[in-house]
Structure 1
Amino acid sequence: MIVRKLKDCEASERRVVAANWESTRMLLKEDQMGFSFHITTIYAGTETHIWYQNHLESVYCMSGEGEIETLADGRIYPIEPGVLYILDQHDEHLLRAKSEMKMACVFNPPLTGKEVHDDRGVYPLND
């Protein structure tokens, strides 16, 4: 059994900070569960270009408000507490935070823990 506390993970190398967000990666590839689990904070007033070409992601909004715009069709989806969105088609998108948003995120395949978006909004695929 694996048991971890968010506050302990936040005080470790499992916390990754970028310009528009920070992510505490509570479950990683090394845990051998087949997915990774993260608590991510999206900073208020930011827009982040994301395109997970190598991963599928599910995101549940726990707090805050924003929107996601899918670039293929220009559709905009409001994000608020209780909303789950699933990037099941490797959807290229813009994530905008009106206020600070706390998100619970699941990635498949799992992340190793140090990933940040490249200039195309992609996380690399690590074997």
Structure 2
Amino acid sequence: MIVKTLKSLTNTEKHIHSEGWDSVRLLLRDDKMGFSFHITTILANAELHMHYKNHLECVYCISGSGEILDKATGQTHPIAPGTMYALNLHDQHCLKAYDEPMVMACVFNPPVTGAEVHDESGAYPAMAE
């Protein structure tokens, strides 16, 4: 059994900071669960262009509000507490927070190692098995 708390991992090496967001990685590849689980905060007024070419992601909004733009279709969807979205087609997207931070629960498959940040295309690097 694995038991961790968000508080115990905040401000440790498992708490990754990047431009427009920060993420506490609660489950990682080394935990051998087949996915990773993060609590990610999108900073107020941040606009993040992402394209997870090597990962599938599911996101659940805990607090805050914003929107997600599907770059393939041009369709924008509102994000608010209780909203889930899944990037099941490696969707290119733009995530935008409004005037307050958005706190999101995120699951990645395959799991990340914990040190990843987005590359110039908005992706995390592929990991060798």
**TM-score class normalised by the smaller sequence:** over 0.9
Q: 1:76 matched to which residue of 2?
A: 76
CA distance in 1, matches of 2:127, 2:10: 23
CA distance in 2, matches of 1:61, 1:86: 12
Q: 1:36 matched to which residue of 2?
A: 36
CA distance in 1, matches of 2:47, 2:12: 26
CA distance in 1, matches of 2:105, 2:58: 8
Identity %: 54
User: Secondary structure of the equivalent of 1:113?
Assistant: coil
Aligned pairs for 1:14-29 (under 5 A) are: 14-29=14-29
Aligned length: 127
Question: Could you list the per-position Cα deviations for residues 67-126 of structure 1 after superposition, in whole angstroms to 9, with x for gaps in the alignment?
Answer: 000101100000000000000000000000002100000000000000000111010012
TM-score for both structures, normalised by structure 1: 0.98
Aligned pairs for 1:1-127 (under 5 A) are: 1-98=1-98, 99-127=100-128
RMSD over aligned Cα atoms:
0.6
CA distance in 2, matches of 1:85, 1:79: 9
Deviation at 1:43, TM superposition (A): 0.2
Question: Could you list the per-position Cα deviations for residues 1-26 of structure 1 after superposition, in whole angstroms to 9, with x for gaps in the alignment?
Answer: 10001111113210000010000000
TM-score for both structures, normalised by structure 2: 0.97
Q: Which ranges of 4 or more aligned residues in structure 1 deviate by more than 2 Å?
A: none
User: Secondary structure of the equivalent of 2:9?
Assistant: helix
- Structure 1 residue runs of 5 or longer lacking an equivalent are none
Q: What letter matches 1:77 in structure 2?
A: H
CA distance in 2, matches of 1:12, 1:44: 22
CA distance in 2, matches of 1:12, 1:2: 18
